[in-house]
Amino acid sequence: MTKLLVTKRDLMHVAATTLAPAVFAPAIITRTAFAEENKKEEKSDTAEEVTPPEDLMREHGVLDRVLLIYDTAIRRLSANEDFDPAVISDCAKLVQDFIENYHEKSEEDFLFPRFRKANQLTDLVATLLEQHQAGRNVTLNILKSAARVRGEAGAKHDCINAMHAFITMYRPHAAREDTVLFPKLRDIVSGHEFDAIGEEMEKREHQHFGEDGFEKAVAHVAELERKVGLYDLKQFTPKI
């Protein structure tokens, strides 16, 4: 009979090749699965978060839609066409409530002081602040004259001029904030402070509007667009 000689080295080899996968594979799989789950959670958290610059930029979108309504009002009134004065007044009230008393106050309280402290873009910040105050005065002029645009030539003239002044200032104002000021914020504050700014802005939004303040503003401006025939986006597509 032939004897099989099994050495200690052979036994160790067998153990390594048969037991190792069974022992270590579950740990590897578990670690991989855990990492994938973490990635999913991080992605989900990122998708839900709105950073301070993103929040302010989307609020500028509401402002842009008001400027479109003002543009249309100027064009129709200048051509002696009718335009509902209530829509002009409602736009100005939306600007007062959402832009001036909330959006701009957030910039003035949470952003501008930090740029001054960091000695960054201080000239720009001074100009932006000056324009905030000028914009509030122009909005008051719009409200003062809007109700009388149908019956008084002088009031119509004043309202047109005020809306034109508002548009002329706020388009470059918002563009400069979007492309220069807001992107710079991350460079002048720590990650923790950046997150804290977002939390403070969200807290103020809830205090001022309750839940879904931004969504309410979007719905409001959309309603005003419908009243004057501006809601359908297709009408702005050029016919080539």
- pLDDT tens-digit series, residues 94-107: 999 999 999 999 99
Looking at residue 237, the DSSP 8-state letter turns out to be S
Is the pLDDT confidence value at 2 over 60? Answer: no
pLDDT the model gives residue 13:
52
Task: Taking residues 33-44, report their average pLDDT.
Answer: 50
Residue range 51-231, CATH number: 1.20.120.520
> Which of 197, 223, 236 is closest to 87 using CA atoms?
223
Is the pLDDT confidence value at 187 over 70? Answer: yes
Handedness of CA 156, 162, 165, 169 (dihedral sign): negative
pLDDT the model gives residue 35:
52
Q: Which helix (H) or strand (E) holds 150?
A: none
Q: Encode pLDDT of 118-134 as tens digits.
A: 999 999 999 999 999 99
Domain boundaries of the chain, sorted by first residue: 51-231
> Which of 102, 105, 92 is closest to 220 using CA atoms?
92
pLDDT the model gives residue 87:
98
To which residue do tokens 């200032």 refer?
169
Per the structure block, which two tokens stand in for 100?
Answer: 């001036």
Is the pLDDT confidence value at 194 over 80? Answer: yes
Contacts 24+ apart (CB under 8 A), 171-175: 171/67, 173/128, 173/131, 173/135, 174/60, 174/63, 174/64
Name, in order, each residue with C-beta under 8 angstroms of 114's C-beta and a sequence gap of 6 or more.
185, 188, 189, 193, 197
pTM for the full predicted model = 0.79
Roughly how many angstroms between the first and final C-alpha of the chain, as a whole number? 96
Q: Encode pLDDT of 52-88 as tens digits.
A: 999 999 999 999 999 999 999 999 999 999 999 999 9
